[in-house]
Amino acid sequence: MASQKKYCLLLASVLAISIFFNNGTAIEEETDATGSNPWLTVSLSSLLPSHTCTPFTGLKKNSSLEVIQRHGPCSELKHGKANPKTIPTHFDILTEDQARVASIHSMLSIRRFNRGNMKQLDSTNIPVKSGLPINTGGYIVTVGLGSPKTNLSLIVDTGSDLTWTQCKPCMVKCYNQQEPIFDPSKSTTYSQIKCSSSSMCNQILSTASDQECAESNSAGTCIYETRYMDKSFSVGFLSKERLTIAADNTFDNFLFGCGQNNLGILFGGAAGLLGLGRQPISVVQQTAKAYNKVFSYCLPSTPSDIGHLTFGSDGVSNNVQYTPITTIPNLTSFYSINITGIVVDGTNLSSITSTLSSAKAIIDIGTFITRLPPSVYTALRSEIQRRMAMYPMVSKLEILDTCYDLSGYKTVTIPKMSLVFGGEVKLDLDASGIFFAVSPKQVCLAFAANEIVEDLIILGSVQQKTIEVVTDLNAERLGFSPAGCK
């Protein structure tokens, strides 16, 4: 009897939204052509963050690393409770996110940002820079560096190539990090790259071909510089060291940046950055003999969850759908893809097809909220607002302008949404990939509009939740496995 009552209530809620009035005009709800339910009914609590870390038991093999959100409860278990002053607010997160997006778009249009002033190493000019965009630093993994091994928590970035960490003696400055700073003098496998080894030094210049390595300091050492739009940066020596990825997977002569002058406003206590981009100096390329340029990841669905980053193809789900990886000039470190359609409630938004067909797109862990061309976002927003009209709207949250007050509901019904990629790959988004919940009183559509139609589409980390993402750089393809993170 209870189950029948529950069914009737659910049926009534669906029927109640089948027809509603918008500005006095009756709108009938479309029926899914397959006969399946085009709605997702979820508990409100499942969209809200938890304050307790949930253990993850899905690590696939000894080349898997745990991925945790930098400021969540799982991070606190590993590194101790964070200083409340360093925990970003929603305003901070979205502001940093917008800065990263602006940086990526500037690279696409070959606009350069101001380098500003910087203290120099060994009283010399800094000859090398990587031209990397800002990183919001949402996810970290722990790897080992040196002999004996020092464990370091690094920010994961699929849009960066160089892996770097702060190094003693911090000749100019090091920011505060939660773990001891790496000391190369205590490692038996550390060495610096000299400018005479120009081929190695120039690997860092894959996205800045107008620069070259020069013997501009007394030791003739190759110097790298990575600078970000919020004025954070790392400058130091390009070096070689033993890298340990989980268990006993070790790689000698791994090229990395040993930072001697670092400003880390956005790094939040992490020791540095792990570069998973496409260029020769990235972790993916440097470990190619062992892993064949394949890696996969599941991002934490909430700050209280733990995800994974796995190198190699063993254990990859059998139901992965692959779309081709493309290349965009000036953004050759990023994984570029084609997004060809958006489906809401089983209905393809046909009005946006022509715009999507000519738009460039990338997938990016470092970007939080997915960015769409203005007309595409407008069409999506209108469709969501039409189908969510039974819920009260509230004020926007920074760049998120479609927000609802769901505090009066235990369960909510939202329209299903899918993204369509090149090769006719259709990806169904989880509810947590459609809406971003600040609180029960402010649950927002997790998409935003670019400023101009020429700007890049960026598939952000929110839309990747609960989905196993598989990157096969050797075969130039990127795959999705919905619900592949369980």
Annotated catalytic residues are: 157, 364
Euclidean distance between CA atoms 192 and 186, whole angstroms:
14
244 with 143: CB under 8 angstroms?
yes
422 and 337 Cβ atoms separated by less than 8 Å? yes
Partners of 469 in the β-ladder: 297, 480
Own/partner contacts of 336-340, CB < 8 Å, gap of 24 or more, are 336/360, 336/361, 336/362, 337/361, 337/362, 337/363, 337/421, 337/422, 337/459, 337/478, 338/421, 338/422, 339/419, 339/420, 339/421, 339/457, 339/459, 340/420, 340/421, 340/422
Q: How far is CA 265 from the centre of its chain?
A: 18
CB 170 within 8 A of CB 197: no
What are the backbone angles phi and psi of residue 305, rounded to the nearest 5°? -105, 165
Helix (H, G, I), strand (E, B) or coil at 408: coil
On whether the CB atoms of residues 473 and 293 are closer than 8 A, the answer is yes
Cβ 432 vs Cβ 47: under 8 Å: yes
User: DSSP secondary structure string, 201-233?
Assistant: HGGGGTT-TT------STT-B-EEEEE-TTS-E
Question: From CA 123, how far away is CA 46, in angstroms rounded?
Answer: 55
- The gap from C-alpha 342 to its chain's centroid, in whole angstroms, comes to 21
Strand order through the sheet with 335-337: 335-337, 361-363, 457-459, 370-372, 447-449
**Angle 210-211-214 from CA coordinates, rounded to 5°:** 150
Tell me how crowded residue 458 is: count the other CB atoms within 10 A of its CB: 26
Q: Say how many C-beta atoms besides its own lie within 10 A of residue 374's C-beta.
A: 14
